[in-house]
Amino acid sequence: MAREEKPYRVYRGGRAKGKVPTVRPARVRSHDGRDELAEYRGPGTATPRRPHWGRRVAIALGLIVLFLVVWGVLGWLSVSHGVSDANKRLAPDAKAVLTKQSGLLVSHSSTILMLGTDNSNLASRAGDMHSDSIMLMRTDPSHHRLYYLSIPRDIQVPIPGHGTQKINAAFQLGGPQLALETIHGFTGLDINHVVVVNFGDFKDLIDALGGIDVNVPKPIRSNRFDCPYATQARCQQWPGWRFEKGEQHMGGQRALIYSRIRENMLDPAETDVTRGARQQAVIDAVTSKLASISTFFKLPFDGSSYVKPLTTDLSTSQLIQLGWVKFRASSGNAVHCRLGGDLGGGGTGSPSEDNPATLAMFLGKSAPQPPTDPFGPGCVTGHTLQ
């Protein structure tokens, strides 16, 4: 009887005797819906795996994070160059009178003085360095809220070493340092940072941002200041600047005109206090645009130009933190305040007796209450004072 050959298995090292392993072909679904046996292609041939969607998502997210980090670093470098110049423009004596910031801006409250200077191109006013806009901004990161306090420039206050004068004269007499000392003495508020905004260059910043959106509360027709025409005869025929009621998109030049309007021929009751409210609205719109996502993606290209109109002690890190605080704060939750005084026709400019109560509202110690007269102090929530 012939010797029976036993089945064998094939291994890399040769063949070995034993039972042939049973391989069961997989069952697959055919195009007509019936189950069929898949073709067996022999040992060692595995069905190709499809990539996991989770891995694809993880790779995509990783690339996005990497892009944001690289873009953020490039934006930081661009902004820091401009911030370095802005820091150099602020005299050391002004930095010395600031109250040291307690903790990070993203987690601790901070009070920032914002001074707007609007130098005229006229030779007769070349040396005029009054601060046309005086505003304090207080951050409240824990409640995602911002507080704004406008100070009318014609209020009469004691200026250290110069007697009692209009508060905007402090900047003319002693620059940011004297302005800080005067405003601290008048309000009793500790000021952590200062930002001086040159409105002449402000229009370039607004253009670099792609314009801003401003809500104009009432129609405006101004007097004939900053006539856009070359001849005096044409300027005499020109009726003045016009602004319709409602939200409007403004480029740099138009936003600057809006903030400069002193007289509204359609509403003679408007005052310099109203002008301050317009400037507050423009500054608020600019800071909102600076803190927007669209601006983040422009930082590597335009970051340095964004701080060109500024003179400040704020570092690059602090400016970015401030932008984050502004980004997280709700505009509908913002509190807009102003101080008041005897500023009407023939008024003495003396401060209102109710200013301390408004300062308490600005500090969040009491609920906002609106002004009771056109020159009175008070606060409102969600929109600027008019």
Q: What is the pLDDT of residue 341?
A: 92
Q: Is pLDDT at 233 greater than 70 in this prediction? A: yes
At 364, the pLDDT band (50, 70, 90 cuts) reads very high
Beta-bridged to residue 136, according to DSSP, are: 113, 149
Q: Is pLDDT at 123 greater than 50 in this prediction? A: no
Residue 25 within a domain:
no
Query: Mean pLDDT lowest for which of 6-10, 117-121, 218-222, 260-264?
Result: 6-10
SS3 assignment, position 335? strand
Cβ pair 224, 241 in contact under 8 A: no
Q: What is the pLDDT of residue 52?
A: 73
Residue 329 within a domain:
yes
Q: What is the pLDDT of residue 122?
A: 44
Provide the mean pLDDT of the chain: 82
Range of the domain at 288: 64-381
Residue 186 within a domain:
yes
Residue 52 within a domain:
no
Tell the residue number behind the tokens 């046309």, with chain if given: 132
Residue predicted with more confidence, 104 or 279: 104
Strongest mean pLDDT among 109-123, 246-260, 276-290:
246-260
Query: Mean pLDDT lowest for which of 129-133, 200-204, 205-209, 344-348?
Result: 129-133
Residue 177 within a domain:
yes
Q: Is pLDDT at 359 greater than 70 in this prediction? A: yes
DSSP readout, 236-304? HH----EE-SEEEEE-HHHHHHHHH---BTT-TT--HHHHHHHHHHHHHHHHHHHTSHHHHTTHHHHHH
Q: What is the pLDDT of residue 117?
A: 81
Q: What is the pLDDT of residue 49?
A: 62
Cα–Cα distance, 340 to 128 (Å, whole number) = 24
Cβ pair 238, 211 in contact under 8 A: no
Which tokens in the block code for residue 131? Answer: 């601060």
- Rounded to the nearest angstrom, the gap between the alpha carbon of residue 225 and the centroid of all alpha carbons in its chain is 30
116 contact partners, CB below 8 Å, separation of at least 6:
131, 132, 133, 134, 135, 196, 197, 199, 202, 259, 279, 283
Residue 42 within a domain:
no
Phi, then psi, of 170 in degrees rounded to 5: -60, -40
At 13, the pLDDT band (50, 70, 90 cuts) reads low
Q: What is the pLDDT of residue 347?
A: 83
Q: What is the pLDDT of residue 335?
A: 93
- Measure the CA angle with vertex 312, ends 306 and 313; round to 5°: 125
At 323, the pLDDT band (50, 70, 90 cuts) reads confident
- Give the pTM: 0.76
Q: Is pLDDT at 298 greater than 80 in this prediction? A: no
Q: What is the pLDDT of residue 7?
A: 57
Residue 205 within a domain:
yes
Residue 244 within a domain:
yes
Strongest mean pLDDT among 96-100, 117-121, 319-323:
96-100
Tell the residue number behind the tokens 């003179």, with chain if given: 311
Total domain count for the chain? 1
The CATH number of residue 197's host domain is: 3.40.630.190
